[in-house]
Amino acid sequence: MAKIIVVTSGKGGVGKTTSSAAIGTGLALAGHKTVIVDFDIGLRNLDLIMGCERRVVYDFVNVINGEANLKQTLIKDKRTDNLFILPASQTRDKDALTREGVEKVLNELAKDFDFIICDSPAGIESGAMMALYFADEAVVVTNPEVSSVRDSDRILGMLSSKSRRAEQGLEGIKEHLLLTRYNPERVEKGEMLSVEDVKEILAIELIGVIPESQAVLNASNSGQPVILDKDSDAGQAYLDTIKRLLGEQVPFRFLTVEKKGFIKRIFGG
């Protein structure tokens, strides 16, 4: 039976879809058959990040409405074996997702996949609530800023009270914290919360710290998950995150300011 992981946040623009793409790709690279489902109806972005926007014929809502089946709709990633994308609709309203319809699609996917990654819209509107309702685990994505962390705390409240697991009195959703756009220099200057500050506020397991990096923007613009850029600090940080998600003990990197050598201090860079 597949494990359903929702990638969620309280605030928009924190790197949620980037993280969904990286996590899905990383799990597939580790040998697990994985599908990433875009729940952001009307604001479809996952297919752009994955570089498959021209290959979208049918979408999630078409499957729910019985207008297409999963075999017609799922897009196989060209770079990574075991990875598929279920795109969202750009022309429908978020109310097009019904609980019964989503459950039917997830149950069908669960027969064939090891992991189902749900790329949630930001906030607590209907699409976001639908994405987290069926989750077994949650990756809560936040930036090290007060407003982002506060909104993530609200999402944690929803995860503990509005999920299927909560309704059925089962063990709660396993929560993971993914801290994105982390800049140690700005932390030292007091312009950004530290890792310890965020951990203290949210009090959930830290699974990854992704440094602020031009590589993330470059990857998005080229339609390639940044985790495939294994020479970049962000790509390496996402690879570490996948190892932790799969139960490995991996030390955290990119948390401190890089000390510049003599040549760099003299000539800059």
What's the pLDDT tens digit per position in 70-81? 999 999 999 999
Please state, in angstroms and rounded to a whole number, the distance separating the CA atoms of residues 226 and 252.
18
Contact 12, 122 (CB under 8 A): yes
16 annotated ligand-binding residue: yes
13 marked ligand binding residue: yes
Task: Kindly indicate the confidence band of residue 127, based on its pLDDT and cuts at 50, 70 and 90.
Answer: confident
Domains of the chain, CATH where assigned: 3-246 (3.40.50.300)
pTM > 0.85: yes or no: yes
pLDDT band at 206 (very low <50, low <70, confident <90, very high): very high
Calculate mean pLDDT across residues 163-185.
Answer: 93
Q: Is 15 marked as a binding-site residue?
A: yes
pLDDT band at 264 (very low <50, low <70, confident <90, very high): low
Q: Is 37 annotated as a binding residue?
A: no
Is 17 annotated in some ligand binding site? yes
Angle of the 233-245 helix axis to the 214-221 helix axis, nearest 10: 90
Distance CA 101, CA 215 (A): 37
Give 38-82 pLDDT, tens digit per residue. 998 877 789 999 999 999 999 999 999 999 999 999 999 999 999
Nearest of 173, 149, 170, 145 to residue 159 by alpha carbon: 173
pLDDT band for position 93 (cuts 50, 70, 90): low
Q: Tell whether 250 is in a known binding site.
A: no
